Amino acid sequence: MSGVRARSGVAPMNFFTVLMALSVLAASALFIALALFLNLISSTLADIGGEEKGYGTKASYLSKIRVGVRAIEVETGMIPTQVTALNATLTSVRDGLIAVDGNLGGVITAVSQQVMP
């Protein structure tokens, strides 16, 4: 046993070894948390996917929403052009009502000035 040397007083684990072990532990915790959250996100998206229609196929709620939004977009696509024409028509109606208001003011004045027999 004369070939076995005694340790020279150096600590069995130095500072860099401790940092390496902590880094490996932190990286492992990060990947475990990432896997758990991805699993939760995947199950939530599967729930949003829709109800079972048969043979394991799902009717996707997201696709139904997409179709509905597209239908609204198509149905309301003509509004910008129609609003311009409507504004012109309403402007002429407003001008006509201003003329009627002026005429009614004149009629009221004329009637109030009449002497009743």
Name the residue type at position 67: V
Residue pair 60/50 in contact by the 8 Å Cβ criterion? yes
Question: CB-based contacts of 60: which residues, under 8 Å, 6+ apart?
Answer: 49, 50
Which one has a higher pLDDT value, 67 or 34?
Answer: 34
Which two three-digit tokens encode residue 11? Answer: 């600590």
pLDDT > 70 fraction of the chain, expressed in percent and rounded:
77
* pLDDT tens readout for residues 23-59: 999 999 999 999 999 999 888 877 776 666 666 666 6
Name the residue type at position 56: G
Under the banding of pLDDT at 50, 70 and 90, the label for residue 65 is: confident
Which one has a higher pLDDT value, 87 or 9?
Answer: 87
Is the pLDDT assigned to residue 10 strictly greater than 60?
A: no
* pLDDT tens readout for residues 75-95: 998 888 888 889 989 999 999
Is the pLDDT assigned to residue 102 strictly greater than 70?
A: yes
